[in-house]
Structure 1
Amino acid sequence: MARIKESNFGDTSFQRLLGHNLEVMQGWCYLGNVLEKEGLLSAKLKEQVRRTLAQKNGCEYCKAKGKPELSRFDEKTSIAVAFTEVFLKQKGEISDSSFRILREYMTEGEISELCAFISFTTASQYFGAMMKLEPVRNQQ
């Protein structure tokens, strides 16, 4: 059970926890939708990054959506997930050499989008962890 009661606003448990402040919920959802969709990076790549982050960021709700699917990795996804693993270990102390590797496979725009996606997703997962947001259990 989450640490606070869900509001009456939002479509998901996560949104209803944010829904106590509609402006925050709406802004958060808008940015999440922008970052998750196809952009300079594919939505499929970003989903594998999200799954990688979920395994370490402490949100059970996010973990329940699955582990990274190695069979779906192409070269760019492998590089993005490896960078995500570096982020998880080093947080803001990522070396220039990690960015040099990214530049071999991604444009400046793609690197910016990847870092924004990692940062926003981590914040979302931390919020879920702080609130003890649990996965929805199938009821039979």
Structure 2
Amino acid sequence: MARIKKSAYGDSPFQQLLGHNPEIMNKWNDLGSLLAEEGELSSMLKEQVRRTLAQGNGCEYCKAKGRPEPHLFDEKTSIAVGLADVFLKVKGDIPDSVFMVLKEIFSDEEISELCAFIAFATASQYFGAMTGLKA
């Protein structure tokens, strides 16, 4: 059971916890949808990054959606998941050497989207962990 009661607003348990503040929930959902869809990076790559982050960010609800699937990784996905792993270990203080590797594979636009996605997914997963959201 979550640490706070679910609101009447939202379509998922996560949204119902945010739904105590409907405007925040709606804008959070909008940004989450935008970041998850196809952009500079594929939605499949971002889902594998999300799954990787979920294993280290403490949200049981997020973990329950599945572990990373390495058999689906291409080179870009492997590097992106590697960045997520480094992020989990250093909590954002990514060494310049990691960005040098990223720049060999990704454009600046892709790196920006990847970093934004990692930051947002982490914030969502932290919210789930803080509120005790269960699968």
Asked if these proteins are the same fold (TM beyond 0.5), I'd say: yes
Matched, 1:34 2:34: yes
TM-score for the superposition, normalised by structure 1: 0.95
Moved over 3 A (4+): none
What is the identity, as a one-letter code, of the residue corresponding to 1:126?
Y
Shift of 1:92: 2.3
- Relative to its length, the structure with more helix (as a share) is 2
The one-letter amino acid of 1:100's match is M
Alignment TM-score, normalising by the size of structure 2: 0.99
| Alpha-carbon shift at residue 84 of structure 1 (Å) | 0.8
Per-residue Cα deviation, 1:98-129 (whole angstroms, up to 9, x for no partner): 00100000000000000000000000000000
List runs of 5+ in structure 2 lacking aligned partners: none
For residues 17 and 114 of structure 1, what CA distance do their matches in structure 2 show?
Answer: 26
Q: Percent of aligned pairs with the same residue?
A: 66
| Aligned match of 1:120 | 120
CA RMSD of aligned residues (A): 0.5
Q: Which runs of 5+ in 1 are unaligned?
A: 136-140
Aligned length: 135
In structure 2, what residue type is equivalent to 1:59?
A: C
